[in-house]
Amino acid sequence: MNKCVAVVQFALAMMGAISLSSQADVALHGQLSQGGLVWGELPEGSSVKLDGKSLKIADNGIFVFGFDRDAKPVSYLEVCRAEAVCEKQALNITQRQYDIQRITGVPQETVTPPASVLERIRKETALVVRARQQDFARQDFTQTFKWPVLGPITGVFGSQRVYNGSPGRPHYGLDIAAPTGSTVSAPIDGVVTLAHPDMFYSGGTLIIDHGMGVSSTFIHLSKVLVEVGQHVKQGDAIAEVGATGRATGPHLDWRMNWAGQRLDPALLMGPMPAAK
Q: What is the pTM of this model?
A: 0.87
**Number of CB atoms found within 10 A of residue 75's CB:** 17
The reported pLDDT for the residue numbered 5 is 32
Furthest CA-CA distance within the chain: 63
Tell me how far apart the alpha carbons of residues 175 and 153 are, in angstroms, rounded to a whole number. 6
Please indicate whether residue 116 or residue 275 has the higher confidence score (pLDDT): 116
Average pLDDT over residues 30-37: 97
**Number of CB atoms found within 10 A of residue 197's CB:** 13
Please indicate whether residue 213 or residue 116 has the higher confidence score (pLDDT): 213
CATH fold, domain 98-266, is Glucose Permease (Domain IIA) (2.70.70)
Identify which of 76-90, 113-127, 153-167, 217-231 has the greatest average pLDDT: 217-231
Q: Give the domain ranges of the chain.
A: 26-90, 98-266
- Residue 13 — very low, low, confident or very high, per pLDDT cuts 50/70/90? very low
Which neighbouring-strand residues pair with 215? 209, 257
Extended beta strands in 172-250, E state: 173-177, 183-185, 190-199, 203-211, 214-224, 231-232, 237-241
Q: Which of 66-80, 160-174, 209-223 shows the lowest mean pLDDT across its residues?
A: 160-174
Identical topology for domains 26-90 and 98-266? no
Tell me how far apart the alpha carbons of residues 195 and 210 are, in angstroms, rounded to a whole number. 15
Which neighbouring-strand residues pair with 19? 27
Specify the CATH number of the domain 26-90: 2.60.40
Question: How many residues are present in the chain?
Answer: 276
Q: What is the mean pLDDT of the chain?
A: 87
Contacts of 269 (CB under 8 A, 6+ apart): 145, 147
Q: Which residues of 111-143 are buried (b: 16+ CB within 10 A; e: fewer)?
A: eebeeeeeeeeeebeeebeebbeeebebbbbbe
CA 184 centroid distance within chain: 17
Average pLDDT over residues 247-273: 95
- Are residues 37 and 30 in contact, defined by beta-carbon separation less than 8 angstroms? yes
**Closest C-alpha to 264, from 63, 69, 16:** 69
pLDDT over 50 at 167, yes or no: yes
